[in-house]
Structure 1
Amino acid sequence: MSDRTLPREYRTTGGQAALVAGVVVIAAAAALFPLWTEEDMPASVRWIGSIAVLALFAWLVAGAARSSTTADLRGIRVRGVMRVRRMSWREIQDIRVEANPGASMQQGAPRVFTYAYGANGKRTQLIHLDGNTVDLEGELAFLHAAWVELRGADWTESARVTRRIDRGEARRMAVMGGLTWGMTAFFPLIVLSLLPLFGDVSEPLATLLSPGVLFGVGCPAAWIIGSVVTYRRLV
């Protein structure tokens, strides 16, 4: 099966590339604006700064355009903006889809990302292998089948690494659970902070109900409690 369908390459789509280019153009313009509007700036500094800014952003665009995930008979290669990572099929311990914590705060962001876990339990994001770019369910099924076929008949799962992977995922989910608890606690804390406006309260209680104490202590406490409860429920 795999020798007929590999290599498989996942790259940015045309729409995503245009979006990245647009963001980079806006950022470059914002960086160049003070260089060319400051009247007292020496011409040499203006030109050197402009060249450096344009070179940096051109490098970012080129790196984003080259970024990809490639699966072939030897394993998986992930080319990012800064570095290239390679994993053989044999050293991969698992391939998982995990939620994108920032999806709710970024319009159009992928709701999930795909990660490959190496022999040490560390994860590597498989760039452009998400629900926005490909048929994620189908591609994930294909990669799992290729992994099972090409990792070798004597491959064995490491219970120690699997526990490390599960605990790492539980920690990330716990952080998100804690944030949910913190945001949920925000509105009751607002109500409590308004109580002194509607009646007389003792001085110690008024201090406890001050916004600085409520939000400085209450929200972090809710986040910590929520994180611990979520983690305990998952492990």
Structure 2
Amino acid sequence: MGNLRLLKFYLFIATFFLAITCAKAQQTSIPEKDQYFDFAFGVGENSLTSYSLSWNQNYGLFASKKLRLGYGVRFSGLNGKEINYITAPANLTGDDATIDTLYMGKANTMALNAMINIQYQFHPKVKLGFNIDALGLGFGGEQSANFISSENTGQFPENLNAKPTSFNLLLVGDNDIGQLKSEFYLAYAVTEKAWLRAGFDMTFSEYTSNQVLTNENDRFRNKATLFFLAVSYNPF
């Protein structure tokens, strides 16, 4: 069922891109500034789903205004079952011998983050974009977990509790802390005020165990890649 759902999603994405290619775009000017609300929903392997609600504001640069930079605020979440979270701190991830696993039978992490937007609007009705969370708060309910480590010879429990890491900070790669989302996407204007977006959602989610475990570590991360669809609307 999971593979069938993903296949249907891929077909929908292909149809969406084909529609963009074939549509006759209305010639309108590219605005100097735009702002909008956005809702996105993504699906991935292992029953992973993601969602987000954000507010964004972007500014066109140079005379053409095609290159656009902006900022926003995003509330997001990730849900899944039977997920492996591995050792998160960058000083431990470079060596397989210091990587442990926190197995989550059920995961549900949420975040409220400030975000950065970069877009290239090569046509008034079509643009490519990238956004990424930079700083914020993580939250969610405490969950039971199984600790898996070759270094655990009985001094650490195999069953424990963990909760989403409460502080989020973009530091690049494994230096990142907490719950952080980024998106690569293609967007198409269906009306003057509404856009459709589709692309890849990369969500880092992180749990902190209720006690320090091997290698003095209590942070565990999952890196998920999902396909997403979104609707953006400018009510102003």
Which bin holds the TM-score, normalised by the shorter protein?
A: under 0.3
Bigger helix share: 1
Higher relative contact order (CA 8 A, sep 6+): 2
TM-score by length of 1: 0.19
Q: TM-score, normalised by structure 2?
A: 0.19
- Structure that is richer in strand per residue: 2
Bigger Rg, which one:
1
